[in-house]
């Protein structure tokens, strides 16, 4: 294994795995830290954790355990993947995990770059934009777990880390890989260990990747990993093709626990022509809504059914005030996890899941240990094979075009015998 990656949620990890596979690396995504060694043909390993919103100490512990396993596989470089909207709080978890990984690896020069232009995430003058809107004005300020109220990644990261924050602006990145590398080293020499790097184009990501060829640890969204495979290719360590992937025929279902604007629009469009079922926390808490009742409803639908709990921000706030943030989130995650198990047991072999926390709960419930990365549905969202006859797509809440669900249904069947 050449490149060892750690992701703080499941959709983000599949996004990263998708990026690496598209660039020609043979990539496998693992659910949690594996108990056995990787097969020799794996060039990039992505360990998907569910650590974005857990206590800091647990997130650090899990990341270090993942790092130990990746080191044992012989990895030459390491990557810590977090959301391209930098989902975190002033207490963590991004900063503490970076600090711990940097110390364990022994580096004082770490790139911080959540940019992903292909999905509308750009970083300019240290400020993160979602399309043409600052991060704190795009709806992320209303996120139920990690509300993002400051678009300046330097300011947002500073309280989370014991290190000083540096910055390499777009004007330097535009000058190419050599200038970018020189700027990174200068920042490090002045004790700025965590260095925010601007990127507004895919070409910038390739430049940053080339500049990072000799850095042991890179952190960011999946976008900044775009340029890393070419470094290994230049050394003759990888080829051009990541391999063949084939979809599956059979029944398909969709589960959505995301409250993002993008997902709510996708739900509205899909619901015009397909059966949908909304669940609410009150019904879950009083036992009137169960995984068995949802599964039975979905089994009875002649078309691809969709179940969702994707309320608007005010409704989410009201629910949290009534039941508590953690209790309401856990109730939805557990319900959808059990629903996924029921669907799989009843012959559904194509599953689409929206929302990072929901995806993590579903993957754990289905005991999916590793997935083979397939073709891209939309930027950042690949098809994945999770078994001999089971395929799945995990979508981050903010990702995907308005017709994402329709495309995902087709792509998961693509090339099926």
pLDDT tens digits for range 160-185: 999 999 999 999 999 999 999 999 99
Distance CA 29, CA 134 (A): 31
Q: Which residue has 């970076």 as its token pair?
A: 98
pLDDT at 150 over 90: yes
What domains lie within the chain, and their CATH numbers? Answer: 3-234 (3.40.50.10840), 251-411 (3.40.980.20)
What does the pLDDT read at residue 291?
A: 95
Distance CA 167, CA 111 (A): 9
Mean pLDDT of the chain: 92
What does the pLDDT read at residue 154?
A: 97
pLDDT at 22 over 80: yes
- Greater confidence (327 vs 146) lies with 146
pLDDT grade, residue 319 (50/70/90)? confident
| Section 20-30 average pLDDT | 92
Cα 52–Cα 53–Cα 57 angle in degrees, nearest 5: 85
Percent of the chain whose predicted confidence (pLDDT) is above 70:
98
Query: pLDDT tens across 47-92, in order?
Result: 999 999 899 999 999 999 999 999 999 999 999 999 999 999 888 8
Percent of the chain whose predicted confidence (pLDDT) is above 90:
75
What does the pLDDT read at residue 372?
A: 87
pLDDT grade, residue 313 (50/70/90)? low
pLDDT grade, residue 242 (50/70/90)? low
Q: Name the residue among 153, 165, 152 with its Cα closest to residue 191.
A: 165
pLDDT at 386 over 70: yes
N-to-C CA span, the chain: 31
pLDDT at 414 over 60: yes
| Section 137-158 average pLDDT | 91
pLDDT grade, residue 417 (50/70/90)? low
Query: pLDDT tens across 290-299, in order?
Result: 999 999 999 9
C-alpha atoms less than 13 angstroms from C-alpha of 185 in its C-beta half-sphere: 11
Angle (deg, nearest 10), helices 356-365 and 325-345: 50
- Greater confidence (138 vs 122) lies with 122
């Amino acid at each position: 294994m050449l490149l060892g990656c750690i992701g703080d949620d499941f959709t983000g990890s599949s996004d990263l795995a998708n990026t690496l596979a598209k660039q020609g690396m043979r990539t496998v995504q693992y659910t949690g830290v594996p108990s056995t060694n990787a097969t020799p043909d794996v060039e990039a390993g992505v360990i998907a954790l569910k650590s974005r919103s857990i206590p800091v100490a647990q997130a650090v512990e899990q990341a270090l355990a993942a790092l130990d396993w990746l080191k044992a596989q012989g990895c030459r470089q390491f990557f810590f993947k977090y959301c391209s909207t930098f989902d975190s709080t002033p207490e963590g978890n991004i900063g503490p995990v970076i600090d711990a990984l940097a110390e364990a690896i022994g580096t004082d020069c770490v790139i911080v770059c959540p940019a992903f232009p292909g999905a509308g995430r750009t970083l300019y003058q240290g400020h993160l934009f979602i399309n043409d809107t600052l991060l704190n004005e795009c709806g992320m300020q209303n996120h139920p777990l990690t509300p993002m109220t400051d678009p300046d990644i330097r300011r947002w990261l500073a309280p989370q880390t014991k290190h000083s924050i540096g910055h390499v602006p777009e004007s330097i990145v535009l000058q190419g890989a050599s200038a970018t590398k020189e700027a990174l080293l200068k920042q490090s020499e002045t004790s700025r260990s965590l260095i925010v790097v601007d990127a507004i184009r895919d070409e910038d990501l390739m430049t940053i990747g080339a500049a990072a060829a000799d850095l042991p640890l890179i952190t960011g969204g999946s976008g900044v990993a775009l340029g890393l495979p070419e470094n290994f290719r230049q050394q003759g360590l990888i080829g051009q093709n990541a391999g063949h992937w084939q979809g599956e025929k059979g029944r398909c279902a969709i589960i959505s626990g995301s409250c993002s604007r993008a997902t709510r629009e996708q739900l509205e469009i899909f619901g015009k022509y397909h059966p949908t079922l909304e669940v609410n926390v009150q019904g879950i808490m009083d036992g009137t809504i169960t995984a068995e009742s949802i599964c039975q409803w979905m089994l009875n639908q002649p078309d691809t059914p969709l179940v969702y709990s994707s309320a608007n921000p005010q409704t989410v706030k009201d629910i949290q005030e009534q039941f508590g943030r953690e209790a309401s989130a856990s109730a939805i995650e557990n319900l959808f996890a059990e629903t996924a198990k029921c669907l799989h047991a009843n012959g559904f072999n194509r599953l689409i899941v929206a929302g990072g926390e929901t995806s993590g709960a579903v993957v754990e419930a289905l005991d999916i240990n590793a997935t083979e990365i397939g073709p891209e549905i939309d930027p950042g969202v690949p098809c994945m094979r999770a078994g001999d006859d089971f395929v799945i797509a995990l979508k981050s809440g903010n990702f995907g075009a308005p017709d994402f669900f329709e495309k995902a249904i087709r792509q998961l069947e693509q090339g099926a015998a």
